[in-house]
Amino acid sequence: MDIRKLQRAIVDGLEDVKGHDIVVFNTEHLTPLFERVIIASGNSNRQTKALASSVRETVKKRGLDVLRTEGEDNGEWIIVDCGAAVAHIMQPGIREYYRLEEIWGGKAVRMKLGARAAPARKPAARKPVARKAAARKAAAR
């Protein structure tokens, strides 16, 4: 299994339901149990449950396995175990209290977030007035 495909599926599922503060950590050097820990926040019980459901659906649609889900009863902290990657979906207060980033945060995985969002726009062209002001400042030096 390609861990990058699994982590992409999990992050896409989180982004579909507007999960925020998404971070991905490489844990291969810390434990043989899984290769990635993905942490995200949801603002309410309803949103954390929706985030977990979206992760499960996205992972399954891409032909990957979801082993189990824990914590959906109260929705404050939900764990979605996908084997090689584990997603922790937490409300901000719970996340701040437990600080999982301090435990698993040794090696953050560089990953493009918002990959499903609209394509990036070109930077706006500078207005002629701004160019003139910049030229005056340079000349004044």
| Per-residue pLDDT tens over the stretch 78-119 | 999 999 999 999 999 999 999 998 888 766 676 666 654 333
User: According to the 3-state scheme, what is the secondary structure of 3-28?
Assistant: HHHHHHHHHHHHHHCCCEEEEEEECC
Spatial distance between the Cα atoms of 22 and 70, rounded to a whole number of angstroms: 19
Token pair belonging to 57: 């659906």
Token pair belonging to 21: 């503060």
Name the residue ranges covered by the structural domains of the chain: 3-115
- The pTM of this model reads 0.76
**What would the CATH number be for the domain defined by 3-115?**
3.30.460.10
Is residue 38 within 8 Å of residue 11, measured between CB atoms? yes
Other C-beta atoms lying within 10 Å of the C-beta of residue 115: 10
